[in-house]
Amino acid sequence: MLTPHILVGAAIGYKIHNYWFVVIFSIISHFILDAIPHKEYDIKCLRNGKLNKDFLKDFSKVAIDGFIGLAIVLLLTGFKDLDYVIVGMIAGAFPDFLQFLSFVFNFKILNLIRKFHHKIHIFNNKDFPYWTTFGSQISTVILMSVTLLS
């Protein structure tokens, strides 16, 4: 899900007014969040490393998720410090965009990033109760919302 990554990146941008630090910390936060057990929706169009007929349906899921994150951020920030907030949002979600690009383009660097990204999801193959994995995402959303409000 993109919303937690967007919210954490936005919170970093809201609190830190240095573009370089916002980008660095937002990207690092992405991988930290991915290491926490969580649920993700299935992106069927990327199965077997190739785009397929499910692209439009999957793109819609991702777009809705991204717009939800954006809407929450805009509501909570009151459009304040948007330059840093937007940089944080983009950087927070950027590793997932690179993940997508690695399926579209067969570049060695993108494939290395995809493998690293996959390894970060160390707990996602485990059998955690749904409330635990979904709870971690809800907790992140609540915590970042409180951060953006303060």
pLDDT tens digits, the chain, 150 residues: what are they?
A: 889 899 999 999 999 999 999 999 999 999 988 888 776 766 666 666 566 677 788 888 889 999 999 999 999 888 887 999 999 999 999 998 998 888 788 889 988 988 888 888 766 656 677 667 777 778 877 887 787 777
Give CA torsion, residues 38, 39, 44, 45, to 10 deg: -50
SS3 labels along 43-65 = CHHHHHHCCCCCHHHHHHHHHHH
Residue 136 and residue 37 in contact, taking contact as beta carbons nearer than 8 Å:
yes
- How far apart CA 147 and CA 143 sit, in angstroms, is 6
- How far apart CA 136 and CA 123 sit, in angstroms, is 12
Q: Which of 17, 14, 5, 3 is nearest to 94 (CA)?
A: 5
- How far apart CA 72 and CA 49 sit, in angstroms, is 32
Q: What is the biggest distance separating any 2 CA atoms in the chain, rounded to whole angstroms?
A: 44
| DSSP SS3 for 90 | helix
pLDDT of residue 82: 93
What is the number of structural domains in the chain?
1
What stretches of the chain adopt beta strand conformation (E)? none
* Length in residues, the chain: 150
- Tokens for 9, please give them: 């990146």
pLDDT of residue 23: 98
pLDDT of residue 101: 86
Residues spanned by the domain of 80? 3-149
> What values do phi and psi take at 53, rounded to 5?
-65, -15
